[in-house]
Structure 1
């Protein structure tokens, strides 16, 4: 063991040893209980950032801790490798997406290995590997057979410049996230997964996810959006069709005075009169350019246009004008809303604007609402009026009766509705999994035969930057023969949304080399579900919901008998740092600033607010520079100590230095006493030795409880730091070497999950021939944690007058007598009369005197 701590040398040495010995490679089975720890896999952008350092350090602490506790721990790593950035690189830099991706993976793999993460690298794969997506294509074909995959015409977000569909989250302020072009609605044939078939089970199983944050569960409940109500048909005058609406407020049906349709509604143009058509078409064009999220916000101006058509209220017979309204979307219900302006605020504002009639059908207790004087809609409870035969009933009570009435009269039916919509998985891009379908003029849509899988991406494609998928221009790819009749046919040129690949990767880690199917059932059912999943909360209703859906699909396809993919979920916070900017050169990286001045021009640098680290604002810290200067263990320790994992972490250079100094302090302590501890003296159990042992065992208990399920890494590290202080303050090292060495061994073992290279080197320095992995996690002795003596505070009339040390555990009477016998207390009581004593065992005695 060297006298000075040299992180670069130590970390390289241990990383090489772990790799040579395949320390973290695991297999199924054996006597140890399994534990599957997984962090959301990264996109291979080319460089890891501090968010990666934090996320993977959190996961590695848990994995190492569980391994030390005796678990068979699987912690794999792979790459979410498909996506638009690779195509951007192809266009901007003239490098093929495959080459760009492979090079980035190599760079990031090397960076991650420098962090000393305990991954089973034998299980590594990238989702762009044909050996991976080949099984995704097979599962798609099975879903197609079962009706879980289908194609239909749909209105999508379309970028005219990139010529591709965008998911809702890829639309930023109405523009394309890639190029900023205004996004428009477009009607396209798209492939969908029927996730709505699982809506009820997805919702029901949320209650079983006890290890997930409540915030994520709430977001999923809201996204699925189950509501019970009625579907009601409103006959259209002069048309055979009717307008069908879903409502949870059938109690207000008698107050419906007009109809609001989404501008995207399929009947919007067909029911419009000739006179109104120009206005309707102009309105539809205007709304298409508006952001869908903003359209439904409360402060967005409510606008509409009359179609010239009327429908009939099925219970009142009232002629209801049909409007298109910008706040109605096709994404919920039927895209049609029966408007009750007296009892819905949006309808109220719309009705006032367009001078539409109002009818009160719910009267609050003690009031008499008058439509002529209403200033806002009444949305609270009350008694029904103008709603014969239900007048006088409480409106909430009447809902069920009205639903039965509508069913009996065949005017409507009880219905359960979901906000959730089927998952559109078609993307008009190159760098993705090809959808294995062929189109034949004679045979129609034909699945690619399984023996012809995988349908691989061709490599000889041109990236012009002019938009559109290169596959649609690649004749050698799309020209093929029909597998049924042999005639000339065309291959599907859409690729899957990249969320498809990330919806089942966690299961493939169980058997990445299996070649007979997507999953080897025995291995999958051994490892799954993932015991602890770690990733960002931004994935709450996309990736996490899709992964739950795909798990249920894989179960129903017979690949495994697992209902849910992740037992426990931890959503970590972001890494944040202040921004710095120069009046002339704009945002600056930290290395571009020296002594508060821009290194380029010398101008004073403006310090901005603390924000999430991002390359766009240059408030980033390069993990490679951090590791080169301080070592990976310091980087890990800082990211774990600076904040609880679920909270945002604020970058602080002084805190990094503090963590570095702490490791040096521990190193010196072990180095100084290494020879003594190599002789392995037995711990003593008296006097100062017992007190040090009590601190050691309490620290083991505290750190264990803080890591295990709580993830309070910051307080666990703080407890270890207190143990270090106690060892430094221990003044009887020569008299009690056994207690000292026990404390040092405890210290090193407790640090192992946080700073693994550092701890292994110290463990070897203490003369231990086996690794910390073999030593396991320390246990505590409850008997040693009990204090022999207690410091008692003595108050007289509520003010502290003395402190004395007594035997721990004295009962109230004995403690009172001990206090009254103390000479210092007797002096305080001289000449006073004791009225009563208030005793708190092991803590204080308050004497009330007169």
Structure 2
């Protein structure tokens, strides 16, 4: 007698649903276990990679349930964003229609899996009942100074016609992570969240069990460096500028100074006879990618501004160059150049015949003349009263001296930049800000939320926010003076939606607050989170930031959103590339379930590879 898996699986899945077997108990009678898998994006169909994420998570949740835990295993859909909008444009339909049709199909696929999902917890991020709370959270951050708007150079995808967060620009070619189009720079007025306020705290992983690889990626992304920042005066000029260095022990070896081409002082201090050369260099340098500018294979180049800085200790004149290997986005956008002890500076000094002044020597002495920079430890030489000190001791002593003389101070810098959340696209959460000619920038009153996304907007990209061309959305009344005003027409980065969704799961029907505080206090943090390592420097960083920010504005009491993280790995297609519909290499689980049954596929998922 053959095993009729199709009939048996349908029978039991139907029975489980009728009995409400997997509905989450809200009684406080047992120890809780919150198991969560990253919510899937509504791209159309689930492929086997989705099963590989959900099946192990479900298996672990079932085991905990059998051990007597009260388990929450929710599911939702990440439904806003560019892929939905682009698919809708291609099919000439509204992105909402495409998205909800996909959700219905994906929901059916998930149910055939037989997972212990509590469907009463379902959330859909493009539902007004959900994105209302995106807007509410934005306003809380705005009130506390964590959301702000500023003009700045941003990464722009000319194909998607929208800005990108730094994390969404990938590869050596600096391409868009959605469409692989080379990214450009534009100057726009954008909304940011102050994730940099939490840089130091985000480096602390104590109390959470996350994979070392993920922690290392976040540490490197945040990029902490400790050093000294001090001021340099421009000779015969009222201007001065700050310089940050991690090697203050080499200060006596400074022979020139380099500014980033974008530095605001460049135009002010450039001598007339150098103006044309500087202008031409800036034009070329600012069009190079960050990868190109920092490449060790690229020959270092620059141009003299005609101006000089005054050395803070020796009083000597230091020529000021601009060079593209210095970035305005890191530190102060200016560096003290010590060619004897930094290879980039050494190469630059040789090219432009600048002095190379050794100030640190190993016990065996330095080769004369230097053929390359000495970057190792040693004792200070040619450094006035500090000569003879071990360079580590000299760092501490010179830092104290600079602070005592009021020249500068010890400082920590971070590579991390604030999170750009403005998007010039339609299918996303409207940013709840109003611009009034009389009152300026005014937050939408909370009782007027949600600011609804109009269904009849023309959403094909033009390079400007589509909502700007919808008069019914754009024109409004100022909530403070009652006069005519305009709404913000940018929408939010969809990573905002998924930065707090795990809180909404515990009370998805809550109407007066984004989540019920007592439910959050009981269920959070998530005990076991499952998702790919590729999200390390975006989603997995943002969820940690959001929890800390929500704590500081008084919404939650915890500091970390997930106690443990499990990265399941990636299933590759036959072409050894990550499975995706765009590559055409996906395997649909539906066919396998129909042929072998859901249990067989789930067991295979558990044994096909080490799930981490």
- How far has the Cα of 1:84 moved from its partner? 0.5
- How far has the Cα of 1:576 moved from its partner? 1.9
Who is 1:622 aligned against?
Answer: 588
SS at match of 1:147: coil
Change (3 A) 1:413 1:369: farther
Who is 2:321 aligned against?
Answer: 323
Long gaps (5+) in structure 2: none
> Which stretches of structure 1, 4 residues or more, deviate above 6 A after TM superposition?
none
Who is 1:187 aligned against?
Answer: 187
Change (3 A) 1:181 1:540: closer
Q: Deviations over 1:91-122 (max 9, x none)?
A: 21111111111111111111111111111110
Who is 2:206 aligned against?
Answer: 207
Change (3 A) 1:160 1:615: closer
Return the match for 2:274 from 269, 273, 276: 276
Q: Which has the larger radius of gyration?
A: 1
Distance in structure 2 (CA, Å) of the matches to 1:278 and 1:96: 51
Distance in structure 2 (CA, Å) of the matches to 1:307 and 1:512: 60
User: Is the CA contact (8 Å cut-off) linking 1:226 and 1:418 kept in structure 2?
Assistant: yes
User: Is the CA contact (8 Å cut-off) linking 1:76 and 1:121 kept in structure 2?
Assistant: yes
Q: Across the two proteins, how many residue pairs are aligned to each other?
A: 610
Long gaps (5+) in structure 1: 580-609, 647-850
Who is 2:214 aligned against?
Answer: 216
Who is 2:550 aligned against?
Answer: 554
Distance in structure 1 (CA, Å) of the matches to 2:220 and 2:102: 37
Matched, 1:196 2:196: yes
Who is 1:86 aligned against?
Answer: 84
Who is 2:259 aligned against?
Answer: 261
Bigger shift: 620-629 or 54-63?
620-629
- How far has the Cα of 1:460 moved from its partner? 0.5
User: Is the CA contact (8 Å cut-off) linking 2:426 and 2:459 kept in structure 1?
Assistant: no
- How far has the Cα of 1:179 moved from its partner? 5.5
Distance in structure 1 (CA, Å) of the matches to 2:180 and 2:272: 37
What does 1:489-568 correspond to in 2, within 5 Å?
489-568=485-564
Alignment RMSD: 1.7
Larger relative contact order (C-alpha < 8 A, sep ≥ 6)? 2
User: Is the CA contact (8 Å cut-off) linking 2:424 and 2:463 kept in structure 1?
Assistant: no
Distance in structure 2 (CA, Å) of the matches to 1:62 and 1:76: 14
Distance in structure 2 (CA, Å) of the matches to 1:108 and 1:287: 47
SS at match of 1:153: strand
Distance in structure 2 (CA, Å) of the matches to 1:150 and 1:169: 19
Distance in structure 1 (CA, Å) of the matches to 2:330 and 2:61: 42
Matched, 1:380 2:370: no
Who is 2:291 aligned against?
Answer: 293
What does 1:330-341 correspond to in 2, within 5 Å?
330-341=328-339
- How far has the Cα of 1:39 moved from its partner? 0.6
SS at match of 1:434: coil
Who is 1:347 aligned against?
Answer: 345
User: Is the CA contact (8 Å cut-off) linking 1:161 and 1:466 kept in structure 2?
Assistant: no
- How far has the Cα of 1:200 moved from its partner? 2.2
Q: Deviations over 1:357-383 (max 9, x none)?
A: 21111011111343xx21111000011
Who is 2:73 aligned against?
Answer: 75
User: Is the CA contact (8 Å cut-off) linking 2:425 and 2:459 kept in structure 1?
Assistant: no
- How far has the Cα of 1:417 moved from its partner? 1.9
- How far has the Cα of 1:161 moved from its partner? 4.8
SS at match of 1:637: helix
Who is 1:451 aligned against?
Answer: 447
What does 1:6-45 correspond to in 2, within 5 Å?
6-45=4-43
Who is 2:128 aligned against?
Answer: 130
User: Is the CA contact (8 Å cut-off) linking 1:182 and 1:289 kept in structure 2?
Assistant: no
User: Is the CA contact (8 Å cut-off) linking 1:519 and 1:559 kept in structure 2?
Assistant: no
What does 1:384-463 correspond to in 2, within 5 Å?
384-463=380-459
Bigger shift: 42-51 or 254-263?
254-263
- How far has the Cα of 1:465 moved from its partner? 4.4
Return the match for 1:636 from 602, 607, 612: 602
Change (3 A) 1:47 1:146: same
Distance in structure 1 (CA, Å) of the matches to 2:176 and 2:534: 19
Distance in structure 1 (CA, Å) of the matches to 2:39 and 2:273: 57
Q: Deviations over 1:469-518 (max 9, x none)?
A: 21121111111111111111110011111111111001111111111111
User: Is the CA contact (8 Å cut-off) linking 2:36 and 2:74 kept in structure 1?
Assistant: yes
Change (3 A) 1:452 1:614: closer
SS at match of 1:526: helix
